[in-house]
Amino acid sequence: MTTAKQTIDGFSLENILQIFNMESKSQTLQVTREDQTGYLDVEQGELIHASLGSLSGMEAAMEIMVWDEAKTEVLPLRKVQRTIQSSLINILLEVSKLKDDRRSAREESGEDLLQDAIEKAEMQQYKLAHDELVAFLKKKRDSLIGWIWFARIQGNPDLIRKSLNVAASIDPNDSLLKEEQRKFALGLPSLRGGVARKCYFCWTPLNRSATACPNCQGSLIINAEALQHVGEMDAKVAGEAQDRYLRILRRHPRSLTAVYCLALIQMNLGRLKEALVYLDKASKMAPERAVFTSQLKLLLEHLASQSQDMGADGSAEATEAVAPPPIEVEDAAPLNRPVTPQRVILVVEDSATTRKVIAITLTRNGYKVIEAGDGLEALSKISEERPDLIMLDVILPKMDGYKILAIIKGNAEFKDIPVIMLTSKDGFLNKVKGRMAGSSAYLTKPFDPEQMLQEIRKHIW
C-alpha cells in the first residue's frame, strides 16, 4: 500500500469532506493545526472514525472539524474500527452549530479581539495591537493576560508600570505576571528618555539603542560583537521565540518581522547557515533597507572567513538546537548591475555552509549558480549545464579536486572552462600543482567574498 501524502490547499475541511462524500472516496485525512494533529477516516464517502490525541470517535471528529486554517493531507485509508454512526451531512450540521456557539462565546468574552491583538503585538504592529487591546480591556477590565499584553506593547516605562500594577491587583501571585515584573525591574535602570523598546524574543523593556537583551542574552542585530557571542542566548527563550515566529510566518508568509527575527534567532543559536538563509530572504523582501544588506554582507564575510574550519555539514557552527524547517527563497535581487547575458558558475564544495556563502554572494551579483557536493556530482553538472566557470574545492569526498580538474582539462568540450581552485592549504607547491593541472586561479580559504568576485571577473564578464 502506498503511503504517499497529498496536500490539499485552497479548500476548507468541510469542502474536502463534501467532495469525498459525493465521490464515495475511501481515504484518511491528516489534519494539522500548529502542534496538534488529528485523523479523519472516510470510507465510501462517510466518516467512520476520528482520532486526536486521547480523543476518538465523534468527540475527536467535532474538535478537528471546528479548526480554522488547518493543513490537510490525504493518506490511504487506515485500518480502523467504525466508531461514528452519524451521516456526514448530520455531522457537518453539528459542526456548523458548534462553530457558531464557540464564535458567539468568543465574541461575548472578547477572546477573538484579544487573540488578534496578541498576534499584531507578536508581529510588532504595536499601534494596531494597542487599539485592539484598549477595546478588549473596556469589555474585560479584569483580564490579567490583557493587562500583561498591554504592558508588553508600551514604550513608556510609566505606562508599563501602571499596567503591571493593574494586573497585580487582579492576581498578584500569577507566575507570568511575576516574570514580567522581574523583566521590567531588570530593564528599567537602562531606560533613558522615557522611551523603551522591547526584546524581540522575551519582551524585556530595553533602551532604544540596546543591541542585546540582558535577560535572555539574545543579540538584536547581526554585527561583529554579536558573532562573538553566538550560543549564549537562553535556549528556552530561543525555542519559544522560534516557534512563535514560525507560526507567524505560516500565517503571514511575507512577514518581514518574522523572517528577520528568525535570522537573529538562528545566529544567536550559532546556526549561521540557517541565519544566512533567513537574512538573505529579508534583504530580498526589502532591498531598499540597507540594514539588511549590510548585515548580510557581514555574515557572508564572517562565514567565508570561517570556511577553513567547516566540515561538509557546516559543523563548525552546529548546536543541539533544532533548526527550523527550510523556507522558500525567491531568486535573488542582484546588488550590482546584473551580468548580461547571465553567466553560469558551478560551485563544487563539500561544505554546505561554504557553498551557501559562495552561492548567495554570486547570485546577488547577477550570476546563475549551480552546486555540487562531490566530484561525481560535479562531473554530472558540468555535462548537463556546461558552466562558464567552475569553482572547485581541492579536498572532496570520492574524488579530489585535482583529479576532477584533470578530467575537465582532458575533455575537448570542457577544457576551456576557467577553473578556480579553493583550498585551505596555502603553499607554493599547492599553487604550482594547481597551475600544472590547468587551474586558472587559486583561492585560499578563508577568503574574502570581494576578492572572490574580483578573481571571477578576470575570467568571465
pLDDT less than 70: residues of the chain? 1-5, 7-10, 106-107, 109-110, 307-341, 425-438
- Please give the Cα distance from 309 to 33 (Å, whole number): 41
- Nearest alpha-carbon partner for 335 in 304, 308, 360, 370: 360
Specify the DSSP element, H or E, that contains 368.
strand 368-372
- Please give the Cα distance from 57 to 293 (Å, whole number): 53
- The per-residue pLDDT for range 120-171, each reduced to its tens digit, is 999 999 999 999 999 999 989 999 999 999 999 999 999 999 999 999 999 9
Got the DSSP string for 19-78? Answer: HHHHTT--EEEEEEETTEEEEEEEETTEEEEEEETTEEHHHHHHHHHT-SS-EEEEEEPP
Which residues neighbour 139 within 8 Å (Cβ) at sequence distance 6 or greater? 110, 113
- The per-residue pLDDT for range 69-95, each reduced to its tens digit, is 788 999 999 999 999 999 999 999 999
Distances (CA, A) of 304 to 244, 434, 451: 31, 21, 11
ω before 446 within 30° of 0 (cis)? yes
Strand pairing partners for 319? none
Which residues neighbour 68 within 8 Å (Cβ) at sequence distance 6 or greater? none
Specify the DSSP element, H or E, that contains 139.
helix 126-139
What domains are there in the chain, each with its CATH number? 6-108 (no CATH), 111-195 (1.25.40.10), 224-317 (1.25.40.10), 344-457 (3.40.50.2300)
Distances (CA, A) of 108 to 103, 105, 232: 9, 5, 44
3-state SS assignment for residue 391: strand
